[in-house]
Amino acid sequence: MKKFFTGNFGVFIVSVASFLPVFFWIFQEPISIRFATTFSVFRSFGQVFGLIGMSMFAVVLFLSARLKIFDKYFDGLGRAYDLHHFLGGLAFSFILFHPLFLALAYFSMAPPLALSFLFYPSTFAINYGRIGFLIMAILLILTFYYKTSIKYQNWKLSHKLLGAAFFFGGLHSLFITSDISTNVVLRWYILILSALGLAAYIYRTLLYPFSVKRYLYKVSTIRKIGNDVIEITMLPLESKMKYKIGQFIFVSFKSDVVGKESHPFSLISSPDDNFIRIAAKSSGDYTKNLTNLSIGDLAEVEGAFGVFSPEKSKNKNQIWIAGGIGITPFLSAARGLDWKNFSVDLYYSFKEESDGVYLKELQNISNQVGNLKVVPWISQDKGKINFYEIKKLDSKIKDKSIFICGPSTMIESLKKDFINGGVSKKNIFSEEFSM
């Protein structure tokens, strides 16, 4: 029960919030009347899709607020963002079917009526819906199909305009003659949910410089590690940000060379340090430009977020599996844990020997603490790390907590194999952060 309320409760709440309007709609009018004719059947489906679509759209905006409480109720901000992305596409699908089914309803009476409904100028309420739908369609096409081909800052700017689409959609919902206009409970529900969605949008997008707490840091060291990893250390200029092992932050560097947009980074320093340290792999324009930072450059830091920590498990006999730059949260753990209570086998997977940029430091920590065993896994020689190879080295694997961080394909493959191999799902923890 506790796991539900701390890991799945958020999913439950947003699901109820998205579909609850249908419950109010069902009791507005007898089902026998709503589905009596071809016209009423198509109209009813159109109404249901519209109610769910707008409710889910409000939920999507609320999830974009990036609130720290999401860590608790979604088992990590990363999962809240995954849900935000999934529900965004689903909300668009429901909203798309809303006018299509209404058009089919009119088509069942006379085809010209369907064309008139879809394309001809109409009342302000209907035109509000058309404007909102058009904005949403353009922005979500950019999000799902062209995100990799446009610059991040341009994509992020376009994403912020979703609030305008929701605003026009909300006007359409509240002013159109429908069940919302005649059902007081449904009307107030949609009004309150829409207000929460817009408030979250305003908080995160329009009032961000004033509403969101950030910490001011300055770059103190920049170090290139290996061929494609850069490590940045920052010192606080005002109050020090408090964080826990395994958490991540959003950093906005005040540098015209790098760009001022906010990006997420795992913390690799210990919470006891007087500085914060991050590491990034050169995988895009932004991360490649981090080498152009200068000592003394300022940074605004938001956070910390995340619940991916070995401390969250009562079982202190653990296996950690890191793929490539997925070693970052484990670095924070290795540096900051109270090791007297832990016994850990860390499998550090990387493609070739030169990619194991933190291997030597981890081996040094292993020698100091005694109960951290570091197993380098060079995939070029051994193949991809998998459950069966780990089981050969550890016969008590079912009795341990498993922590995995790395590429999403590696995580999903390992989780599936561990579960098929008899490891309880509740003993498997993963960091699957995706923006």
Residue 103 has pLDDT above 50, yes or no: yes
Q: Average pLDDT in the 397-407 region?
A: 90
Q: Which fold has domain 2-210?
A: Four Helix Bundle (Hemerythrin (Met), subunit A) (1.20.120)
Residues β-bridged to residue 385? none
pLDDT of residue 150: 54
Name the residue with higher pLDDT: 197 or 154. Answer: 197
In angstroms, how far is CA 161 from the centroid of its own chain?
19
Q: Average pLDDT in the 280-285 region?
A: 77
CA quadruple 181, 183, 188, 193: dihedral positive or negative? negative
Q: What does the alpha-carbon distance between residue 157 and residue 147 come to, in Å, rounded to a whole number?
A: 12
Residues β-bridged to residue 217? 236, 299
| Residue 35 region by backbone torsions, left for phi larger than 0, else alpha for psi between -120 and 50, else beta | alpha
pLDDT band at 136 (very low <50, low <70, confident <90, very high): confident
Residue 210 has pLDDT above 60, yes or no: yes
112-to-103, 117, 125 alpha-carbon distances in Å:
10, 9, 21
Q: Average pLDDT in the 171-189 region?
A: 90
Angle between helices 111-119 and 77-109 (to 10 degrees): 140
Q: Which amino acid is at 379?
A: S
Angle between helices 162-175 and 38-63 (to 10 degrees): 140
Residue 379 has pLDDT above 70, yes or no: yes
pLDDT of residue 140: 72
The architecture in CATH of the region 310-431 reads 3-Layer(aba) Sandwich (3.40)
Q: Average pLDDT in the 46-68 region?
A: 93
Q: Average pLDDT in the 313-322 region?
A: 91
Q: Average pLDDT in the 269-295 region?
A: 86
Q: Average pLDDT in the 113-137 region?
A: 87
Instruction: Write the DSSP assignment of 417-429 as a string of letters.
Output: HHHHTT--GGGEE
Least confident of 208-222, 274-288, 395-409: 274-288
Contact 187, 21 (CB under 8 A): no
pLDDT of residue 147: 53
Residue 26 has pLDDT above 80, yes or no: yes
Q: Which amino acid is at 14?
A: V
pLDDT of residue 155: 58
Residue 248 has pLDDT above 80, yes or no: yes
Residue 153 has pLDDT above 70, yes or no: no
Q: What does the alpha-carbon distance between residue 170 and residue 61 come to, in Å, rounded to a whole number?
A: 13
Domain ranges of the chain: 2-210, 215-305, 310-431
73: burial class by Cβ within 10 Å (0-12, 13-18, 19+)? buried
Count of residues in the chain: 435
pLDDT band at 9 (very low <50, low <70, confident <90, very high): confident
Name the residue with higher pLDDT: 228 or 216. Answer: 216
pLDDT of residue 231: 92
pLDDT band at 187 (very low <50, low <70, confident <90, very high): very high
Non-local CB neighbours of 352 within 8 Å, separated by 6+ positions = 378, 380
H or E element at residue 152: helix 152-160
pLDDT of residue 154: 58
Residues β-bridged to residue 374? 346
Instruction: Write the DSSP assignment of 244-291 as a string of letters.
Output: -TT-EEEEEE--TTT-S--EEEEB-S-TTSSSEEEEEE--SHHHHHGG
pLDDT band at 48 (very low <50, low <70, confident <90, very high): very high
First-last CA distance in the chain: 29
Residue 40 has pLDDT above 90, yes or no: yes
Report which of 315, 304, 226 is spatially closest to residue 270, judged by C-alpha positions.
Answer: 304
pLDDT of residue 159: 66
The encoded tokens of residue 260 equal 């001022």
Q: What does the alpha-carbon distance between residue 150 and residue 165 come to, in Å, rounded to a whole number?
A: 21
The encoded tokens of residue 334 equal 């290795």
Contact 194, 55 (CB under 8 A): no
Contact 77, 66 (CB under 8 A): yes
Name the residue with higher pLDDT: 78 or 332. Answer: 332
Residue 329 has pLDDT above 80, yes or no: yes
Residue 360 has pLDDT above 80, yes or no: yes
Phi and psi angles of residue 320, each rounded to the nearest 5 degrees, phi first: -110, 135
Contact 315, 235 (CB under 8 A): no
Q: What does the alpha-carbon distance between residue 375 and residue 381 come to, in Å, rounded to a whole number?
A: 14
The alpha carbons of the chain give a radius of gyration, in whole angstroms, of 25
Q: CATH number for 215-305: choose from 2.40.30.10, 3.40.228.10, 3.40.50.300, 2.40.160.50.
A: 2.40.30.10
pLDDT of residue 407: 87
What residue has token string 């949609």? 190
Q: Average pLDDT in the 384-399 region?
A: 86
Q: Which amino acid is at 131?
A: I
Angle between helices 77-109 and 9-26 (to 10 degrees): 20
Average model confidence (pLDDT) for the chain? 87
348-to-159, 324, 344, 405 alpha-carbon distances in Å:
36, 8, 12, 10
Q: Which amino acid is at 230?
A: I
Residue 312 has pLDDT above 60, yes or no: yes
Name the residue with higher pLDDT: 284 or 151. Answer: 284
pLDDT band at 151 (very low <50, low <70, confident <90, very high): low
pLDDT of residue 152: 56
pLDDT band at 221 (very low <50, low <70, confident <90, very high): very high
